[in-house]
Amino acid sequence: MPDRVQVVCPACAAVNRLPSDRPAEKAVCGSCREKLFQGHPAEADTAMFDKQVARSSVPIVVDVWAPWCGPCKMMAPAFEQVAREMEPKVRFLKLNSDKEQQAAAKLGIRGIPTMILYSGGREIARQSGAMSASQITGWIRQHLG
């Protein structure tokens, strides 16, 4: 296990290096002093999404959604619940496909909601369709081991 883990601040996008032997739940950003893990998914634009995936050593689950999507609205509370339960072991992001159309196209999104799991800067799993909290947790654990 590395001595330090890299975590990208969801507020200011600064890269923080945290000692791996200290609890990350209370860690704050060295630049903006905001909590690095807030117990809920962080809204991400394209630049934030790209930086989180490229620079974070923590696995990332992104929910690609749209405000008009019924299944997205149904799944949102479950995604929030899983974020509360699994952070800081996993970072949770929400990417609005209406606002970030180029990012959604680049990701090859064909239907929403779509969740994508990244680890080490690479996509390791993808799932389309609404899921319950237990299904989301099981899906993440299945792919992260």
The amino acid present at 97, given as its one-letter code, is: S
- If we measure between CA atoms, which residue out of 32, 137, 124, 127 comes closest to residue 81? 137
d(CA 141, CA 33): 31
Is 72 a catalytic site residue? yes
Is 32 a catalytic site residue? no
- If we measure between CA atoms, which residue out of 105, 86, 87 comes closest to residue 95? 105
Q: What is the DSSP letter of 3?
A: S
Catalytic residue among 9, 12, 32, 69: 69
Catalytic positions, written as ranges: 69, 72
